[in-house]
Amino acid sequence: MSDAALFPTLVAMAAVLVSAVLHGISGTGFALVAVPAFVILYGAHDGIRIGLALGLMVSAFALVSTIRMVEWARALTLLAPALVLIPAGAWIVSRLDSRLLTLITGVLVIVLVLFALRVSATSDRGGSRYRWPIALAVGAGAALVHVTSALSAPLLAAHAIHISWPPKAFAATAQVTFIGYNILSLAFLQVDGGNLSTAGLLLLPLAAGLAIGMTVRFRLSDRVAIFVLSVVAMAGGVAAIIKVALI
């Protein structure tokens, strides 16, 4: 591997390790940290595809130990709109300029992190009753955001907080939803061998990060994990925007 190719690979490995540790601690947020780094290193279109491929592996790994807690009816409700909106979103993404898609990704990271923090801060006011039409609408928005940036987690987390969804059941059900979103997105975005090869190089830091995160998660408070995740994710979003401004 040449020096020119080695540097971005090492940076990507570091980004995956950090994002996987944070995901292992908090149960979500891998894409919020990893995707901005991939977009900066590999370009918007390839970066998002690589993020989707690794996100699929993260969700599959997490589902193994939580599958008994999945609420399948709710998962299917969140997935149903994706059958229409992910193909439509993939068509839009394929026609977007790489610089514009990088800018969109950076802005989305910042907006979605702030949105999730805002919802979390007001969660003590009590949740609303689950309604499937609202879940369909949330699934529609999450699917469209996912195929364009792989950043659907904050929308689903906000929905879970809004309806007081038990965290363990939500985390398990979210993995099924993410797997569906990732498979559909990768299929319609036409992931290539180069994307999969890059994702394969990042499997070791991914597994190591998840193992570390799941080991130390009981030693850290949720607030600390969320704070670190938010700061790192927003830094990545700002960096993506700066990259566009400097090109």
For 120-147, the DSSP string reads: HHTGGG-PPPP-HHHHHHHHHHHHHHHH
Q: Which residue has the higher pLDDT, 136 or 5?
A: 136
Which residues are CB-neighbours of 125 under 8 A, at least 6 positions away? none
- Greater confidence (81 vs 222) lies with 81
pLDDT digits (tens, 9 = 90+) for 5-34: 788 899 999 999 999 988 887 777 789 889
Q: 35-76, pLDDT tens digit by residue? A: 999 999 999 999 999 999 999 999 998 888 889 999 999 999
The amino acid at residue 170 is F
- What percent of the chain is modeled with pLDDT above 90? 45
Contact assessment for residue 26 and residue 226, using Cβ atoms and an 8 Å cutoff: yes
Tokens in use for 12?
């990507």
Q: What is the mean pLDDT of the chain?
A: 86
Looking at residues 200-213, what average pLDDT do you find?
93
Question: What value does the mean pLDDT take over residues 111-138?
Answer: 76
Q: How many domains does the chain have?
A: 1
Q: What is the domain range of residue 163?
A: 3-246
Whole-number pLDDT of residue 67: 93
Q: Identify which has the larger pLDDT, 113 or 4.
A: 113
Q: Are 176 and 119 in contact (CB under 8 A)?
A: no
37 residue type, one letter: A
Q: What is the pLDDT of residues 120-130, one digit of tens each?
A: 676 555 556 77
Per-residue model confidence (pLDDT) at position 128: 65
Cα 247 to Cα 93, 103, 129, 236, distances in angstroms: 20, 11, 47, 17
Tell me what pLDDT residue 50 has: 96
More confident site: 132 or 144: 144
